[in-house]
Amino acid sequence: MTKPTSEKPTRGKALLTSYTVIWSMLGALGLGYLGIAIFEPAWLGDLTPVSGQHNAETEEAMMNLSTDVAGLRSSMAKLQLDVATVKADVATQSSQTQQLGTQLSTLEDKVRLGQTTIASAEVPSPPSAAEPTTPDASPSMSLSSMATAAAASASGQTAKPLKQTKIINAAPAESSQIVTGSVGDRAGASKAKNAKPEVISFGPAVVKPATKPIGIEIASGPSVDGLRLSWSQITEQNNKLKKLTARYADNGDTANPSFNLIAGPVKSKAEAIRLCKELEAHYQTCKVGEFKGDAL
């Protein structure tokens, strides 16, 4: 009977293998990281890679830049709104100045017409003809007595008072002046002297208002720049409007600025109506009115 082979004693497995050591070290590191994260999180900032810090700084810089750009955009929008408000104020002031100038010119014309009427109503009285004077002698003194008195004064002798000689058919004292012509002419001269000068009166001055130029209102907008763009587009579509002049008129207020685009002057109202019909056929608004406003 053969002896059974003796079984070799089996060795126990080693408790500390390489895998066990590695896993133990990894577990210890994980526990240490968790402890640092819980109790000293500030240490983790020093342990983060440099590339991560650069990325965080870049993202922060981009966020700051986008915030600055948004602020600049809002500032530009406010600036554009302020510029539009200033333009509207300037346009309003210019229209008010033009209206005041028109009123002043109208008042000056009225004053001139009133002065002309008053000056034409006042007619100066004709100057009276110089009447010939007689010598300082009484009308009853004859020519011979006057000659004797003149000779005595020339010779240095004192002339004796002469007796007054009554002249037959002598003219009364009122008509002692020498007047040539007949008796009828003398009466006519006295009547002409006593007559009052005639006053020429004129009727009230009639002022006919000037004919206002005709225009067509073809667009409106909140700014003058927008009206310029609309005018260029409309004239490209309709060549007849290129012969007209564009103006703008203020039709709003400071809070809500609005301007009308007016083209003209048009020769007649019938022609303006015909142009409006042609524009309305191309879906363009048009209205006949007065050609007014400032140059576009």
**Domains with residue ranges and CATH for the chain:** 214-295 (3.30.70)
Q: What is the mean pLDDT of residues 200-214?
A: 74
Buried b (16+ CB within 10 A) or exposed e, 65-84: eeeeeeeeeeeeeeeeeeee
> Using only C-alpha atoms, what is the Rg of the chain?
60
User: Are 239 and 245 a contacting pair, CB within 8 Å?
Assistant: no
Instruction: State mean pLDDT over 259-276.
Output: 93
Q: Which two tokens stand for residue 25?
A: 């070290």
pLDDT tens per residue across span 138-188: 444 444 555 555 555 544 444 444 445 555 555 555 444 454 544 455 555
- Mean pLDDT of the residues in the chain: 74
Task: Report cis status (omega within 30 of 0) of the bond before 209.
Answer: no
Q: Residue 132 — very low, low, confident or very high, per pLDDT cuts 50/70/90?
A: very low
Cβ 276 vs Cβ 268: under 8 Å: no
Q: Mean pLDDT, to the nearest integer, of 100-118?
A: 84
Which of 5-14, 30-39, 90-99, 130-139 shows the highest mean pLDDT?
A: 90-99
User: For residues 127 and 192, is the Cβ–Cβ distance under 8 A?
Assistant: no
Q: Which of 241, 274, 254 is nearest to 93 (CA)?
A: 254
Question: What span, in angstroms and rounded, lies between the C-alpha atoms of 248 and 291?
Answer: 10
Euclidean distance between CA atoms 255 and 37, whole angstroms:
61
Distance CA(286)–CA(263), nearest Å, equals: 10
Q: Is the model's pLDDT at 290 over the cut of 50?
A: yes
230-266 pLDDT per residue, tens:
999 999 988 889 899 999 999 888 888 899 999 999 9
DSSP β-bridge partners for residue 248: 261, 294
Per-residue pLDDT, 292? 92
Coil, strand or helix at 222: coil
CB-CB contact of 290 with 215 (8 Å): yes
**Per-residue pLDDT tens digits for 61-85:** 888 888 889 888 888 999 999 999 9
pLDDT, residue 283, reads 87
At 175 the pLDDT is 44
Residues with Cβ within 8 Å of 265's Cβ and at least 6 positions away in sequence, in order, are 213, 214, 215, 244, 245, 291
pLDDT at 26 over 50: yes
Q: Is the pTM of this model over 0.75?
A: no
Query: What's residue 282's pLDDT?
Result: 87
**Which of left, alpha, beta for 156 (phi over 0: left; psi -120 to 50: alpha)?**
left
User: 233-255 burial string, b = 16+ CB within 10 Å, else e?
Assistant: ebbeeeeebeebebbbbbeeeee
Strands lying side by side in the sheet with 294-295: 287-290, 214-221, 259-266, 245-250, 294-295
Select, from the ranges 54-58, 123-127, 201-205, the one with the highest average predicted confidence (pLDDT). 54-58
Q: What whole-number distance in Å separates Cα of residue 227 and Cα of residue 292? A: 15
